[in-house]
Amino acid sequence: MKHYIINIVYITLFVLSLCCGATSCGHPEKAEVCEEYPPIYPNYTEVTIPYNIAPLNFLMRNEPSRVEVSVKGKDRSLLLRSNYKVQFSEKRWRQLLEAEKGGELRVYVKARVDGKWIQYAPFSWTVAEDSIDPYLSYRLIEPGYEVWNAIQLRERNLESFAERVIADNNLTGKSCMNCHTYSRNDPSLSFFHLRGEHGGTILNRNGTLRKLNTQAIGMPSSAVYGEIHPSGRYGVFSANVIVPEFHTLDNKRLEVYDSTSDVYLLDFDTNEIQPVPFPGKEGVEYLRSFPVFSPDGRTIYYCEAPKVALPDSIIHLKYDLLGISFDPATQAFGTEADTLYSSVTGGKSVCHPKVSPDGKYLLYTLADYGTFPIWHRETELRMLNLRTGETDSLEEVNAPCSDTYHSWSSDSRWFVFASKRDDGIYGKPYFAYIDHDGKAHKPFVLPQRDPAHYDYTLKSYNIPELSTGPLPFDAKDIERIWRDSEAEEVNWK
Partner 1 sequence: MRTDAKDMTFSLAVAAFLVAASFLFFLLVHPYHLFFKEQIRLFIYTFEYTLSYLDKPGALSCFTGDFLTQFLYLRGGGAVVVSLLFLVEWIVATRVLRRFGCGMMTPLQALIPIIAEWFFFSRISYTPATSVSLILASLCFLAYSATGRKPVLMIAGVLFVPLLYCLAGAGMFLLALLVFFYEIYKRRGMLWPGFLIILIAGAYPLLVRHAYLLTAGQAYLYPSAGWQYAVPGMVMAGLAGVSMCFPKLKHRVTLRTFTFHLLALSVVFIVSLVYTVDRETEHILALASESYFGDRDRVHRLTEKGIPPHPVAAYYTNIAMSQRGELGDRLMEYYQPGASGLFLPVNPNTTWFNIFFSSDVHYYLGDMNMAQHSAMLGMIFSPAHRSSRMVKRLAEVNLALGDSTAAEKYLRMLDATLFHRKWAARMRETTTGKRPQPVTIDTIRRAEDYPAALKVLVKSDSDNRAALDYLLCYHLLNKDIPSFRSAFDTYYKEKAAYIPRVYGEALLVSLAAGKASEKEFKSYKFDTRLVKEFGEYTALYEKADGMLDPVRERFPSTYWLYYHFARMKEE
Q: Which residues bind partner 1 (CB under 8 A)?
A: 142-145, 147-150, 152, 165, 168, 170-171, 244-255, 311, 314, 422-426, 449-450, 452-453, 455-456, 458, 474-476, 479
Least Å distance between CB 285 and partner 1?
A: 21
Reference 321, options 100, 311, 299; nearest CA is 299
Looking at the Cβ atoms of 103 and 143, the one nearer to partner 1 is 143
CB-nearer residue toward partner 1: 162 or 458: 458
Residue 122 Cβ, how far from partner 1 at the closest point, in Å? Answer: 26
Strand partners, 125: 47, 105
Closest to partner 1 by CB, 387 or 476: 476
CB of 146 to partner 1, least distance (A): 8
Task: Give the closest residue to 478 by CA, choosing from 176, 224, 211.
Answer: 211
* Phi, psi angles (nearest 5°) of residue 210: -130, 155
Secondary structure (DSSP) of 314-326: GGG---EEEEEEE
CB of 245 to partner 1, least distance (A): 4
In angstroms, give the least distance from the CB of 436 to partner 1.
35
8-state DSSP, 395: T
For partner 1, the closer of residues 4 and 456 by Cβ is 456
Left, alpha or beta for 389 (phi > 0: left; psi -120 to 50: alpha)? left
**Cis omega before residue 42 (within 30°)?**
yes
Element (H, E) at 480: helix 475-484
Query: DSSP label at 410?
Result: T
- State the minimum distance, in angstroms, from the CB of residue 43 to partner 1: 13
Omega before 311 cis (within 30°)?
A: yes
Comparing C-alpha atoms, which of 138, 150, 221 is closest to residue 181?
A: 138
**CA separation, residue 71 to residues 83, 106, 346 (Å):** 17, 6, 44
Please report how close the Cβ of residue 450 comes to partner 1 at its closest, in angstroms: 4
State in angstroms the smallest separation of the CB of 315 from partner 1.
Answer: 9
Cβ neighbours of residue 9 under 8 Å, at least 6 residues apart? none
* CB closer to partner 1, 209 vs 219: 209
Nearer to partner 1, 164 or 281 (CB): 164
What is the Cα Rg of the chain in Å? 25
Q: How far is the CB of 311 from partner 1 (least distance, A)?
A: 5
Q: Which is nearer to partner 1, 160 or 385 (CB)?
A: 160
Q: Return the SS3 of 159.
A: coil
d(CA 308, CA 101): 52
Toward partner 1, which CB reaches closer, 108 or 426?
426
For 350, phi then psi, to 5°, come to -100, 145
- Residue among 152, 47, 56, 146 at smallest CA distance from 96: 56
Residue 31 or 242 having the CB closest to partner 1: 242
Which run of H or of E encompasses 16? helix 2-23
